Protein backbone atom coordinates (compact mmCIF):
# COMPACT_ATOMS: atom_id res chain seq x y z
CA UNK A 1 0.00 0.00 0.00
CA UNK A 2 1.30 3.44 -0.87
CA UNK A 3 2.36 5.48 2.14
CA UNK A 4 0.31 8.58 3.02
CA UNK A 5 3.02 11.06 2.07
CA UNK A 6 3.71 9.24 -1.21
CA UNK A 7 0.01 9.30 -2.06
CA UNK A 8 -0.16 13.07 -1.56
CA UNK A 9 2.98 13.65 -3.60
CA UNK A 10 1.76 11.44 -6.44
CA UNK A 11 -1.61 13.19 -6.61
CA UNK A 12 -0.01 16.64 -6.66
CA UNK A 13 2.66 15.53 -9.16
CA UNK A 14 0.05 14.11 -11.55
CA UNK A 15 -1.96 17.33 -11.45
CA UNK A 16 1.13 19.48 -11.97
CA UNK A 17 2.31 17.29 -14.81
CA UNK A 18 -0.97 17.69 -16.66
CA UNK A 19 -0.87 21.46 -16.23
CA UNK A 20 2.76 21.64 -17.31
CA UNK A 21 2.07 19.63 -20.45
CA UNK A 22 -0.80 21.94 -21.37
CA UNK A 23 1.31 25.02 -20.68
CA UNK A 24 4.28 23.75 -22.73
CA UNK A 25 1.93 23.13 -25.65
CA UNK A 26 0.43 26.62 -25.35
CA UNK A 27 3.80 28.33 -24.95
CA UNK A 28 5.26 26.35 -27.85
CA UNK A 29 2.33 27.22 -30.10
CA UNK A 30 2.68 30.94 -29.30
CA UNK A 31 6.48 31.03 -29.56
CA UNK A 32 6.88 28.92 -32.71
CA UNK A 33 3.61 30.07 -34.20
CA UNK A 34 2.73 33.72 -33.71
CA UNK A 35 6.12 34.78 -32.32
CA UNK A 36 8.22 33.17 -35.03
CA UNK A 37 5.80 34.38 -37.71
CA UNK A 38 6.10 38.00 -36.61
CA UNK A 39 9.86 37.69 -36.26
CA UNK A 40 10.34 36.32 -39.77
CA UNK A 41 7.83 38.74 -41.29
CA UNK A 42 9.48 41.83 -39.77
CA UNK A 43 13.06 40.63 -39.59
CA UNK A 44 14.18 43.30 -42.06
CA UNK A 45 12.72 46.00 -39.82
CA UNK A 46 15.36 45.29 -37.17
CA UNK A 47 18.75 47.01 -37.28
CA UNK A 48 20.44 43.87 -35.90
CA UNK A 49 18.35 40.87 -36.98
CA UNK A 50 20.92 38.39 -35.65
CA UNK A 51 20.32 39.70 -32.11
CA UNK A 52 16.62 38.98 -32.46
CA UNK A 53 17.41 35.48 -33.68
CA UNK A 54 19.65 34.94 -30.67
CA UNK A 55 16.85 36.11 -28.37
CA UNK A 56 14.45 33.71 -30.08
CA UNK A 57 16.97 30.85 -29.64
CA UNK A 58 17.28 31.68 -25.93
CA UNK A 59 13.50 31.44 -25.47
CA UNK A 60 13.38 28.22 -27.47
CA UNK A 61 16.15 26.74 -25.29
CA UNK A 62 14.31 27.70 -22.10
CA UNK A 63 11.10 26.09 -23.37
CA UNK A 64 13.07 22.99 -24.46
CA UNK A 65 14.37 22.59 -20.90
CA UNK A 66 10.81 22.66 -19.58
CA UNK A 67 9.61 20.19 -22.20
CA UNK A 68 12.48 17.80 -21.48
CA UNK A 69 11.75 17.91 -17.75
CA UNK A 70 8.07 17.12 -18.39
CA UNK A 71 8.68 14.34 -20.92
CA UNK A 72 11.54 12.63 -19.09
CA UNK A 73 9.94 13.12 -15.64
CA UNK A 74 13.28 14.03 -14.14
CA UNK A 75 14.33 16.85 -11.82
CA UNK A 76 15.34 20.14 -13.37
CA UNK A 77 18.85 19.93 -14.91
CA UNK A 78 19.31 23.60 -13.99
CA UNK A 79 17.70 25.89 -11.46
CA UNK A 80 14.36 27.58 -12.14
CA UNK A 81 16.09 30.88 -11.51
CA UNK A 82 18.65 30.25 -14.24
CA UNK A 83 15.94 29.45 -16.82
CA UNK A 84 13.89 32.51 -15.83
CA UNK A 85 17.04 34.63 -16.02
CA UNK A 86 17.58 33.38 -19.58
CA UNK A 87 14.01 34.39 -20.50
CA UNK A 88 14.40 37.88 -19.04
CA UNK A 89 17.82 38.25 -20.66
CA UNK A 90 16.29 37.39 -24.04
CA UNK A 91 13.65 40.09 -23.45
CA UNK A 92 16.29 42.70 -22.57
CA UNK A 93 18.41 41.73 -25.57
CA UNK A 94 15.44 42.01 -27.93
CA UNK A 95 14.30 45.35 -26.54
CA UNK A 96 17.80 46.87 -26.78
CA UNK A 97 17.78 46.39 -30.54
CA UNK A 98 14.07 46.95 -31.16
CA UNK A 99 13.31 49.79 -33.65
CA UNK A 100 12.09 52.94 -31.96
CA UNK A 101 8.38 53.25 -31.31
CA UNK A 102 7.64 49.62 -32.17
CA UNK A 103 7.07 48.26 -28.64
CA UNK A 104 3.93 46.12 -28.31
CA UNK A 105 3.47 46.01 -32.08
CA UNK A 106 3.85 43.06 -34.44
CA UNK A 107 7.54 43.91 -34.75
CA UNK A 108 7.85 43.40 -30.99
CA UNK A 109 7.40 39.63 -31.32
CA UNK A 110 8.84 38.85 -27.87
CA UNK A 111 6.30 40.95 -25.96
CA UNK A 112 3.57 38.30 -26.32
CA UNK A 113 5.82 35.24 -26.33
CA UNK A 114 8.28 35.55 -23.43
CA UNK A 115 5.47 35.81 -20.87
CA UNK A 116 4.09 32.38 -21.81
CA UNK A 117 7.52 30.76 -21.82
CA UNK A 118 8.22 32.15 -18.37
CA UNK A 119 4.84 30.94 -17.16
CA UNK A 120 5.65 27.43 -18.42
CA UNK A 121 8.85 27.54 -16.36
CA UNK A 122 7.21 28.84 -13.18
CA UNK A 123 3.85 27.08 -13.31
CA UNK A 124 4.63 24.91 -10.28
CA UNK A 125 6.08 27.81 -8.31
CA UNK A 126 4.07 29.95 -5.83
CA UNK A 127 1.73 32.51 -7.34
CA UNK A 128 3.80 35.42 -6.03
CA UNK A 129 6.81 34.14 -8.02
CA UNK A 130 4.77 34.08 -11.25
CA UNK A 131 3.45 37.59 -10.56
CA UNK A 132 6.99 38.84 -9.92
CA UNK A 133 8.15 37.44 -13.27
CA UNK A 134 5.22 38.94 -15.20
CA UNK A 135 5.80 42.32 -13.58
CA UNK A 136 9.53 42.15 -14.43
CA UNK A 137 8.62 41.30 -18.03
CA UNK A 138 6.25 44.27 -18.19
CA UNK A 139 8.84 46.62 -16.66
CA UNK A 140 11.40 45.65 -19.30
CA UNK A 141 8.92 46.52 -22.05
CA UNK A 142 7.92 49.75 -20.28
CA UNK A 143 11.57 50.72 -19.89
CA UNK A 144 11.98 50.35 -23.64
CA UNK A 145 9.02 52.69 -24.17
CA UNK A 146 10.12 55.28 -21.63
CA UNK A 147 13.91 55.23 -21.81
CA UNK A 148 14.81 54.24 -25.37
CA UNK A 149 12.02 56.00 -27.27
CA UNK A 150 10.17 59.27 -27.35
CA UNK A 151 7.24 58.87 -25.02
CA UNK A 152 3.90 59.71 -26.59
CA UNK A 153 0.28 59.21 -25.68
CA UNK A 154 -0.12 56.75 -28.52
CA UNK A 155 2.86 54.61 -27.45
CA UNK A 156 1.68 54.46 -23.84
CA UNK A 157 -1.87 53.65 -24.93
CA UNK A 158 -0.63 50.93 -27.23
CA UNK A 159 1.54 49.51 -24.46
CA UNK A 160 -1.35 49.56 -21.97
CA UNK A 161 -3.69 47.89 -24.44
CA UNK A 162 -1.19 45.17 -25.23
CA UNK A 163 -0.50 44.59 -21.54
CA UNK A 164 -4.11 43.58 -20.97
CA UNK A 165 -3.52 40.32 -22.80
CA UNK A 166 0.23 39.96 -22.18
CA UNK A 167 -0.16 40.35 -18.42
CA UNK A 168 -3.82 39.46 -17.84
CA UNK A 169 -4.15 36.10 -19.59
CA UNK A 170 -1.01 34.47 -18.10
CA UNK A 171 -1.99 35.82 -14.69
CA UNK A 172 -5.42 34.20 -14.97
CA UNK A 173 -3.80 30.90 -15.91
CA UNK A 174 -1.42 31.18 -12.95
CA UNK A 175 -4.32 31.82 -10.57
CA UNK A 176 -6.20 28.81 -11.94
CA UNK A 177 -3.06 26.66 -11.57
CA UNK A 178 -2.65 27.79 -7.95
CA UNK A 179 -6.30 26.98 -7.20
CA UNK A 180 -6.03 23.55 -8.82
CA UNK A 181 -2.85 22.89 -6.85
CA UNK A 182 -4.69 23.67 -3.62
CA UNK A 183 -7.60 21.48 -4.69
CA UNK A 184 -5.20 18.63 -5.44
CA UNK A 185 -3.49 19.04 -2.09
CA UNK A 186 -6.85 19.12 -0.31
CA UNK A 187 -8.00 16.02 -2.21
CA UNK A 188 -4.82 14.16 -1.30
CA UNK A 189 -5.23 15.17 2.33
CA UNK A 190 -8.84 13.99 2.33
CA UNK A 191 -7.80 10.69 0.73
CA UNK A 192 -5.12 10.15 3.36
CA UNK A 193 -7.56 10.91 6.15
CA UNK A 194 -10.17 8.56 4.68
CA UNK A 195 -7.58 5.81 4.35
CA UNK A 196 -6.41 6.41 7.90
CA UNK A 197 -9.97 6.18 9.25
CA UNK A 198 -10.69 3.01 7.28
CA UNK A 199 -7.46 1.43 8.47
CA UNK A 200 -8.18 2.40 12.07
CA UNK A 201 -11.67 0.93 11.83
CA UNK A 202 -10.37 -2.30 10.30
CA UNK A 203 -7.69 -2.62 12.96
CA UNK A 204 -10.17 -1.91 15.75
CA UNK A 205 -12.64 -4.45 14.36
CA UNK A 206 -9.95 -7.12 13.99
CA UNK A 207 -8.62 -6.40 17.47
CA UNK A 208 -12.14 -6.68 18.91
CA UNK A 209 -12.62 -10.06 17.25
CA UNK A 210 -9.31 -11.32 18.57
CA UNK A 211 -10.02 -10.11 22.10
CA UNK A 212 -13.46 -11.73 21.98
CA UNK A 213 -11.85 -14.99 20.88
CA UNK A 214 -9.28 -14.76 23.66
CA UNK A 215 -12.00 -14.11 26.22
CA UNK A 216 -13.84 -17.16 24.88
CA UNK A 217 -10.68 -19.26 25.18
CA UNK A 218 -10.11 -18.03 28.71
CA UNK A 219 -13.72 -18.78 29.62
CA UNK A 220 -13.06 -22.42 28.78
CA UNK A 221 -10.85 -22.72 31.85
CA UNK A 222 -12.17 -19.94 34.08
CA UNK A 223 -15.90 -20.69 33.91
CA UNK A 224 -15.60 -24.32 35.12
CA UNK A 225 -13.53 -23.10 38.05
CA UNK A 226 -16.08 -20.45 38.99
CA UNK A 227 -18.96 -22.89 38.55
CA UNK A 228 -17.19 -25.39 40.80
CA UNK A 229 -16.72 -22.75 43.47
CA UNK A 230 -20.34 -21.65 43.11
CA UNK A 231 -21.88 -25.12 43.48
CA UNK A 232 -19.36 -26.05 46.22
CA UNK A 233 -17.95 -28.94 44.23
CA UNK A 234 -14.58 -27.19 44.57
CA UNK A 235 -13.36 -26.09 47.98
CA UNK A 236 -11.61 -22.71 48.22
CA UNK A 237 -9.38 -24.15 50.92
CA UNK A 238 -8.04 -26.83 48.57
CA UNK A 239 -4.43 -25.93 47.58
CA UNK A 240 -5.05 -27.25 44.05
CA UNK A 241 -8.07 -24.98 43.67
CA UNK A 242 -6.07 -22.07 45.01
CA UNK A 243 -3.33 -22.72 42.46
CA UNK A 244 -5.88 -22.95 39.63
CA UNK A 245 -7.49 -19.70 40.81
CA UNK A 246 -4.11 -17.97 40.88
CA UNK A 247 -3.31 -19.19 37.35
CA UNK A 248 -6.66 -18.02 35.96
CA UNK A 249 -6.30 -14.65 37.70
CA UNK A 250 -2.85 -14.23 36.18
CA UNK A 251 -4.20 -15.12 32.75
CA UNK A 252 -6.98 -12.58 33.12
CA UNK A 253 -4.53 -9.89 34.19
CA UNK A 254 -2.32 -10.72 31.20
CA UNK A 255 -5.28 -10.58 28.83
CA UNK A 256 -6.22 -7.12 30.08
CA UNK A 257 -2.60 -5.99 29.81
CA UNK A 258 -2.42 -7.05 26.15
CA UNK A 259 -4.55 -4.08 25.11
CA UNK A 260 -2.32 -1.52 26.86
CA UNK A 261 -0.15 0.71 24.72
CA UNK A 262 3.35 0.54 26.18
CA UNK A 263 6.91 0.62 24.87
CA UNK A 264 7.71 -2.97 25.95
CA UNK A 265 4.53 -5.10 25.96
CA UNK A 266 6.37 -8.30 26.98
CA UNK A 267 7.75 -6.84 30.21
CA UNK A 268 4.44 -5.06 30.85
CA UNK A 269 2.50 -8.34 30.70
CA UNK A 270 5.08 -10.13 32.84
CA UNK A 271 4.72 -7.43 35.51
CA UNK A 272 0.97 -8.04 35.57
CA UNK A 273 1.62 -11.76 35.96
CA UNK A 274 4.06 -11.04 38.78
CA UNK A 275 1.48 -8.86 40.53
CA UNK A 276 -0.67 -11.94 41.27
CA UNK A 277 2.27 -13.65 42.96
CA UNK A 278 3.13 -10.49 44.86
CA UNK A 279 -0.41 -10.31 46.23
CA UNK A 280 0.07 -13.84 47.60
CA UNK A 281 3.19 -12.74 49.45
CA UNK A 282 5.61 -14.36 47.00
CA UNK A 283 8.91 -12.53 46.68
CA UNK A 284 9.29 -11.87 42.96
CA UNK A 285 12.43 -10.67 41.21
CA UNK A 286 11.92 -9.42 37.63
CA UNK A 287 14.95 -8.56 35.52
CA UNK A 288 15.59 -7.70 31.85
CA UNK A 289 18.85 -7.86 29.92
CA UNK A 290 19.56 -6.86 26.34
CA UNK A 291 17.15 -5.70 23.66
CA UNK A 292 14.53 -7.50 21.59
CA UNK A 293 11.87 -6.71 19.02
CA UNK A 294 8.22 -6.48 20.06
CA UNK A 295 6.74 -9.99 19.62
CA UNK A 296 3.19 -10.38 18.27
CA UNK A 297 0.46 -10.98 20.84
CA UNK A 298 0.24 -14.73 20.19
CA UNK A 299 3.99 -15.09 20.64
CA UNK A 300 3.95 -13.03 23.85
CA UNK A 301 1.23 -15.29 25.25
CA UNK A 302 3.36 -18.36 24.55
CA UNK A 303 6.42 -16.68 26.07
CA UNK A 304 4.61 -15.62 29.24
CA UNK A 305 2.70 -18.89 29.79
CA UNK A 306 5.66 -20.51 31.54
CA UNK A 307 6.27 -17.52 33.76
CA UNK A 308 2.56 -17.12 34.45
CA UNK A 309 2.17 -20.71 35.68
CA UNK A 310 5.32 -20.59 37.79
CA UNK A 311 4.47 -17.24 39.36
CA UNK A 312 0.88 -18.26 40.11
CA UNK A 313 1.96 -21.50 41.80
CA UNK A 314 5.17 -20.32 43.51
CA UNK A 315 5.28 -20.93 47.21
CA UNK A 316 7.57 -18.18 48.51
CA UNK A 317 9.91 -16.87 45.81
CA UNK A 318 10.34 -16.58 42.04
CA UNK A 319 12.84 -15.01 39.70
CA UNK A 320 11.97 -14.03 36.10
CA UNK A 321 14.66 -12.94 33.67
CA UNK A 322 14.06 -11.76 30.12
CA UNK A 323 17.14 -11.93 27.88
CA UNK A 324 17.30 -10.68 24.29
CA UNK A 325 19.97 -9.92 21.71
CA UNK A 326 17.89 -8.96 18.65
CA UNK A 327 17.95 -12.46 17.14
CA UNK A 328 16.31 -14.30 20.02
CA UNK A 329 14.32 -13.46 23.14
CA UNK A 330 14.07 -15.84 26.09
CA UNK A 331 11.98 -15.75 29.25
CA UNK A 332 13.64 -17.67 32.13
CA UNK A 333 11.76 -18.50 35.33
CA UNK A 334 13.07 -20.09 38.53
CA UNK A 335 10.58 -20.64 41.36
CA UNK A 336 9.76 -22.96 44.26
CA UNK A 337 6.65 -24.41 42.61
CA UNK A 338 4.68 -27.51 43.51
CA UNK A 339 4.63 -29.95 40.56
CA UNK A 340 1.25 -30.26 38.88
CA UNK A 341 -1.24 -27.84 37.37
CA UNK A 342 0.94 -27.17 34.37
CA UNK A 343 4.25 -27.41 36.24
CA UNK A 344 6.37 -30.38 35.36
CA UNK A 345 7.52 -32.86 37.91
CA UNK A 346 11.11 -34.00 38.38
CA UNK A 347 13.03 -34.23 35.13
CA UNK A 348 13.15 -32.32 31.86
CA UNK A 349 10.34 -31.53 29.44
CA UNK A 350 10.68 -29.80 26.09
CA UNK A 351 7.74 -28.46 24.11
CA UNK A 352 7.55 -26.59 20.80
CA UNK A 353 4.67 -24.15 20.86
CA UNK A 354 3.50 -23.55 17.31
CA UNK A 355 2.21 -20.07 16.57
CA UNK A 356 -0.35 -19.71 13.79
CA UNK A 357 -0.58 -16.68 11.57
CA UNK A 358 -1.82 -13.68 13.50
CA UNK A 359 -2.15 -10.01 12.69
CA UNK A 360 -2.21 -7.67 15.63
CA UNK A 361 -2.46 -3.96 14.89
CA UNK A 362 -0.89 -4.52 11.51
CA UNK A 363 1.92 -6.81 12.76
CA UNK A 364 2.06 -10.29 11.34
CA UNK A 365 2.84 -13.27 13.58
CA UNK A 366 5.15 -16.18 12.87
CA UNK A 367 4.37 -19.68 11.74
CA UNK A 368 5.05 -22.98 13.42
CA UNK A 369 8.74 -23.41 12.59
CA UNK A 370 9.49 -20.02 14.14
CA UNK A 371 7.34 -20.63 17.21
CA UNK A 372 8.19 -20.64 20.89
CA UNK A 373 10.30 -23.45 22.35
CA UNK A 374 9.71 -24.18 26.03
CA UNK A 375 12.08 -26.21 28.26
CA UNK A 376 11.18 -27.17 31.83
CA UNK A 377 13.33 -28.73 34.54
CA UNK A 378 12.18 -29.56 38.06
CA UNK A 379 14.22 -30.90 40.95
CA UNK A 380 13.89 -30.76 44.70
CA UNK A 381 10.93 -28.41 44.81
CA UNK A 382 12.52 -25.90 42.45
CA UNK A 383 11.33 -25.45 38.88
CA UNK A 384 13.30 -23.84 36.07
CA UNK A 385 11.53 -22.90 32.84
CA UNK A 386 12.73 -21.20 29.67
CA UNK A 387 10.56 -20.03 26.77
CA UNK A 388 12.59 -19.01 23.69
CA UNK A 389 11.51 -17.32 20.46
CA UNK A 390 13.52 -16.42 17.39
CA UNK A 391 12.02 -13.53 15.39
CA UNK A 392 13.69 -14.64 12.16
CA UNK A 393 14.08 -18.07 10.63
CA UNK A 394 17.28 -19.77 11.61
Residue scoring higher pLDDT (376 or 217): 376
Rounded to 5°, angle at Cα 102 from 97 and 105: 120
pLDDT digits (tens, 9 = 90+) for 267-299: 888 888 888 788 888 888 888 888 888 888 888
Alpha-carbon gap, residue 253 to 121, rounded angstroms: 64
pLDDT number for residue 350 = 41
Q: How confident is the model at residue 362 (pLDDT cuts 50, 70, 90)?
A: very low
Span 29-78, pLDDT tens digits: 999 988 889 888 888 888 888 999 999 999 999 999 988 888 887 777 67
- CA proximity to 139, closest of 83, 95, 102: 95
Q: Give the per-residue pLDDT at 60.
A: 93
Helix H or strand E encompassing 384: strand 382-389
- The stretch 2-26 carries a mean pLDDT of 70
Arithmetic mean of pLDDT, 149-177: 78
pLDDT of 351: 47
**Distance between CA atoms of 245 and 182, rounded to whole angstroms?**
62
Selected residue with higher pLDDT from 14 and 196: 196
Round to whole Å and give the CA distance between 113 and 162.
12
Mean pLDDT over 331-340 rounds to: 79
Q: Which domains are seen in the chain, by residue range?
A: 4-193 (no CATH), 235-389 (3.30.565)
Residue 368's pLDDT is 45
Residues in the chain: 394
Cβ atoms within 10 A of the Cβ of 176, count? 11
271, containing H or E segment:
helix 265-279
Q: Which of 147-161, 271-285, 357-371 has the highest mean pLDDT?
A: 271-285
pLDDT at 105 over 70: yes
Q: What is the mean pLDDT of the chain?
A: 78
| Separation of alpha carbons 222 and 251, rounded Å | 9
Amino acid sequence: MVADDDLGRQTTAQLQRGLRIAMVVVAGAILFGLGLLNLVRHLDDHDLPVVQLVAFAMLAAALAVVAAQVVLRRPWPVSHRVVVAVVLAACALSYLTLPGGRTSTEVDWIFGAANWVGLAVLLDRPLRTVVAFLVAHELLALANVVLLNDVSRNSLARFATGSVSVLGFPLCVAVVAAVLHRIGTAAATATRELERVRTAEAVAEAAHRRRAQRFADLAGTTVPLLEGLADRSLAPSDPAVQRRSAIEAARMRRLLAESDTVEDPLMHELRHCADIADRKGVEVELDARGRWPVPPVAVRRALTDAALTALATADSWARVTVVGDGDVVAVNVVADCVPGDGVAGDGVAVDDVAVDDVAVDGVAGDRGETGVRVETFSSGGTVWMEARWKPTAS
